[in-house]
Amino acid sequence: MEIKEAQFLMSNTEVEKCPAPNKPEYAFIGRSNVGKSSLINMLTNKKSLAKTSGKPGKTRLLNHFLINKEWYLVDLPGYGYAKVPKAERMKWEKMLQNYILKRENLYCLFVLIDSRHPAQQVDLEFMEWLGVSEIPFSIIFTKTDKLRPVELEENLKAYEKKMFETWETMPGYFISSAETGAGKDEILAFIDDINKNQ
């Protein structure tokens, strides 16, 4: 699949105000500064569709984009950013939970993980919650261009080992880089395949 058109639709904080759930929806989430906006821009061939920032916690809303007039891409706020005041963090978490649990046309949630770091507890707990809540998700390992191939392989093996402490099978995952475009074809083919089989 090729993304020929990516149109910003709306930003809001309430799932009830999201676009009508009449098209397949794919949302992207991860810890702050995981490279989410850069990945979305790479997938859509738009340099500034999603706002990128070196400052964590920039995305604070549910941001909907209409792709090829056929499906929705959603840029979600990051989680696990300690410098945000607790009250605001709780508000974000409630908003995210409401969206993830109530959005009936959410076909897959992409959980972004920085490939350079060992497994983080906040990510593991979040994915465990998704599993218990029966939310379909896939992992996207980001910033893989920052590692040598052997380092990447070692990190992925270590991550799998950690996941197998609580998971019987490893959730599906993609290897990506916003810099090199790695993973773009595979992620879009995955989305296209789901859309065609609905």
- What are the domain boundaries of the chain? 6-196
Residues in Cβ contact with 51 at an 8 Å cutoff, skipping those fewer than 6 apart:
37, 58, 59
Q: Does position 64 have pLDDT exceeding 60, yes or no?
A: yes
Q: What share of the chain is helix, strand, coil (3-state, %, to 5)?
A: 35, 20, 40
Measured between alpha carbons, how far is 153 from 189 in angstroms, rounded to an integer?
Answer: 23
Listed residue (90, 106, 72) closest to 3, CA to CA: 72
pLDDT of residue 161: 96
Segment 153-160 shows an average pLDDT of 96
* Number of Cβ atoms within 10 Å of the Cβ of 14: 10
* Number of Cβ atoms within 10 Å of the Cβ of 163: 19
| pLDDT tens for each residue of 97-147 | 999 999 999 999 999 999 999 999 999 999 999 999 999 999 999 999 999
| Fold of the domain built from segment(s) 6-196 | Rossmann fold (3.40.50)
Instruction: Give the global pTM.
Output: 0.93
pLDDT of residue 46: 86
Of the pLDDT bands very low, low, confident and very high (cuts 50, 70, 90), residue 13 is confident
What are 181's two structure tokens? 């475009």
Segment 31-54 shows an average pLDDT of 82
| pLDDT tens for each residue of 67-82 | 999 999 999 988 776 5
Q: Does position 89 have pLDDT exceeding 80, yes or no?
A: no
**Which 3-state string (H, E, C) describes 155-183?**
HHHHHHHHHCCCCCCCCCEEECCCCCCCC
pLDDT of residue 59: 57
What are 183's two structure tokens? 């993973």
Q: In whole angstroms, how large is the CA radius of gyration of the chain?
A: 16
Pairing of β 137-142 and β 62-67: unpaired
| Dihedral sign (CA 118, 25, 47, 175) | positive
Coil vs helix vs strand at 10: strand
For the chain, what's the residue count?
Answer: 198
Contact call for residues 183 and 172 (beta carbons, < 8 A): no
